[in-house]
Amino acid sequence: MKIYKNHIAAKIAGIIGDDKDRIKSLLEFPPSEAMGDLAFPCFTLSKGMRKSPNIIAGELKDKIEKDDMIERTEAAGPYVNFFVNKRHLISTVIDQISDEGYDYGKSDEGSGKTVIIEYSSPNIAKPFGIGHLRSTVIGASLKNIYEHLGYNVVSINHLGDWGTQFGKLIYAYKTWGDETKLNDDPIKHLYELYVQIHQEEEKDKELVELTRREFKKLEEGNFENIELWRKFSDLSRKEFQKIYEMLGVDFDSDTGESFYIDKIAGIERNLKERNLLKESRDATIIDLEKYELPSILIRKSDDTSLYATRDLAAAVYRKKEYNFDKMVYVVGVAQSLYFRQLFKALKLMGNVWADDCYHVSFGWVKLGEEMMSTRRGNIVFLEDVLTRTIEKARKIVEDNSPDLPDPDSVANAVGIGAVIFADLSCRRDTDIAFDWERMLDFRGNSGPYIQYSHARLCSVIRKYGKELKKEYNTDLLLLPEEYSLAKMLSLYPDVIKKAAEEFDSFYISNFLLEICGIFNTYYQKYRSSDDRILSSNNDLADSRLALANCTRIILHSGLKLLGISAPEMM
Ligand code: ARG
């Protein structure tokens, strides 16, 4: 739609003598096709022109001349609605997508700009939670989206590898630990120790002091404790890596919280100089009462550091290291208040760039009953959930198409695709329920449904059996579904931009579902008629194939932005 936006904005700007870019930013997509393809709201002109927006819309409509791009205009209340020339649109879109391929929708809006996206960030020695999965999937997708728009993206896994819990773990390991168990199933053993020490601490308050001392020793660099911590950390990282490999996710940096302990002194100095620190019941805090926020605990009475202090140090370090234009934290909604406190503190420390920091929060994920049955001990391991999803996908894929050359890789793509799509198919701030039946439903709003539509397109192209034509006549594409499809494809670049602006891949997943909806109706409706895609009329078949190929390109590209692979056969 971009070329039409530019064209219409230039026309309006010429008529009313205004800035083209300003007009362009006002153009909207009407809610239904009956209201045209683009709409210009006249409200903002009302004051300067001293007329009602409805009158302005009427007058403006009369002054706009039709041309080969604009077929019709209409004044509807305070809006001027534009109907673009259908022939022009179909031909432009198909030419452009055929020409640009997977680069369609790329832009240079991000050129020269750096965005940090922090995601995943699970905690060492604890199971990789389902919430961390959602963070991982959302963050990885945002990374793809921002890269598509030309940004330099730095992805960071802020591992939870420091904190008082390590004092507890070290104490528990020294007391009840078992090296064989640790090496066999590290997360399970560490988690058991973690649960045990919590229970014991409840019974015996003296233990709290003992575990605290172990953490203090760790912060002071005690050799034995550092060695244990390193071992826990290495084993956990290896376990997490398995999950990242299954998901096809990686990071530019995985410096966890521990990386910032030697940078905390500088932060505290700054806070002190600015008079931001306050002593309160033996602890040091930043008082944020003035801003109607709870205070931030910076240092505890025993002199050990805290999560927030390490986050302040991390933000300052990242600004210095990467000079980001934006920094995004993909973390669950439970930490919303925390991030407001954090950004406020950064601002008070004199960092104007605190305004460029965003908490991209997301809702809770509930595991379906059947998934809960993958428990080991009493914890659900994400790796088990993923493995079982792939097994289930394999069964479905084999039932559907017994002759696939490489069922393993298809099952993998479908299983993982199903999980990723389930995480991205609703607005990120909504809670979601994960269950196998729904996420693997080939006919439902699922990842496999989109992958299947993509594979169907690949199969149509294979059946065509020739090289796609460079010359085709789009004037032959007269079915209403063909226009709807082309028009939808033309919106892809706008959808990517919207997803980036709102940090929400949902716009893309939803868009892909719409494309599949239109395409599958089109395919089913005409499949046994003369109007089928592979028409017996060669010219028609060439043109329809061009459109089919563009649809394939967009599905493939969109899935990739979500982090999902697109098998050609399934
Ligand atoms: N490890 C934390 C948790 O599991 C999430 C870290 C979020 N990022 C941050 N910079 N605080 O709750």
Distance 371 CA to ligand 1 centre (A): 25
- Cα(348) to ligand 1 centroid in Å equals 22
Question: What is the predicted pLDDT for the residue at 373?
Answer: 84
Question: Pocket around ligand 1: residues whose beta carbon is below 6 Å from it?
Answer: 118, 121, 123, 158, 160, 311, 329, 331
Closest Cα to residue 326, out of 534, 113, 570, 66? 113
Residue nearest to atom 10 of ligand 1 (CA): 311
| CA 323 – ligand 1 centroid, Å | 21
Residue 374: the pLDDT is 82
Cβ 110 vs Cβ 218: under 8 Å: no
For residue 39, give both structure tokens.
């709409």
Please give the distance of CA 331 from its chain centroid, rounded to a whole number.
12
Mutate to test the pocket of ligand 1, among 120, 158, 162 (most ligand atoms within 8 A of CB): 158
Tell me which amino acid residue 461 is.
I
The pLDDT value recorded for residue 529 is 87
Question: Strand pairing of 79-84 and 38-41?
Answer: antiparallel
What's the pLDDT at 304? Answer: 80
CA of 306 to the centre of ligand 1 (A): 12
φ, ψ of residue 422 to 5 degrees: the values are -60, -35
Assigned token pair, 186 = 């590290």
Name the CA dihedral angle for 384, 390, 396, 400, rounded to a multiple of 10 degrees. -170
Whose Cα sits closest to atom 11 in ligand 1?
311
pLDDT for 371: 87
Domains, the chain, in order of start with CATH, read 2-84 (3.30.1360.70), 163-247 (no CATH)
How far, in Å, CA of 33 to CA of 484, rounded?
A: 9
Ligand 1 atom closest to the CA of 123, numbered from 1: 1
Q: Give CA separation, 278 vs 18, 275, 284, 304, in Å.
A: 54, 8, 6, 16
**Nearest-10 Cα torsion for 243, 244, 247, 252:** 170
Reported as type and span, the H/E element at residue 151 is none
Close Cβ partners of 42 (under 8 Å, ≥ 6 residues apart): 53, 54, 56, 57, 60, 78, 79, 80
> Which residues fall within 8 angstroms of residue 494, CB to CB, at 6 or more apart?
1, 2, 29
Say what the pLDDT of residue 170 is.
Answer: 97
pLDDT at residue 368, rounded to an integer = 87
Which of the listed residues 118, 120, 121, 257 should we mutate to test ligand 1's pocket, taking the one with most ligand atoms within 8 A of CB? 121
Q: ∠ at Cα 276 (275, 279), nearest 5°?
A: 95
* Nearest atom (ligand 1) to Cα of 159: 1
Best residue for ligand 1 mutational test, from 155, 251, 331 (most atoms within 8 Å of Cβ): 331
Ligand 1 centre and the CA of 166: distance in Å?
16
Contact between 57 and 79 under an 8 Å Cβ cutoff? The reply is yes
pLDDT score at 559: 98
pTM over 0.85, yes/no = yes
pLDDT in tens, the chain (570 residues): 889 999 999 999 999 999 999 999 999 999 998 999 999 999 999 998 999 999 999 999 999 999 999 999 999 999 999 999 999 999 999 999 999 999 999 999 999 999 999 999 999 989 898 999 999 999 999 999 999 999 999 999 999 999 999 999 999 999 999 999 999 999 999 999 999 999 999 999 999 999 999 999 999 999 999 999 999 999 999 999 999 999 999 999 999 999 999 999 999 999 999 999 999 888 999 999 999 999 999 988 877 889 999 999 999 999 999 999 999 999 999 999 999 999 999 999 999 999 999 999 999 999 888 888 888 877 888 999 999 999 999 999 999 999 999 999 999 999 999 999 999 999 999 999 999 999 999 999 999 999 999 999 999 999 998 889 889 999 999 999 999 999 999 999 999 999 999 999 999 999 999 999 999 999 999 998 888 999 999 999 999 999 999 999 999 999 999 999 999 999
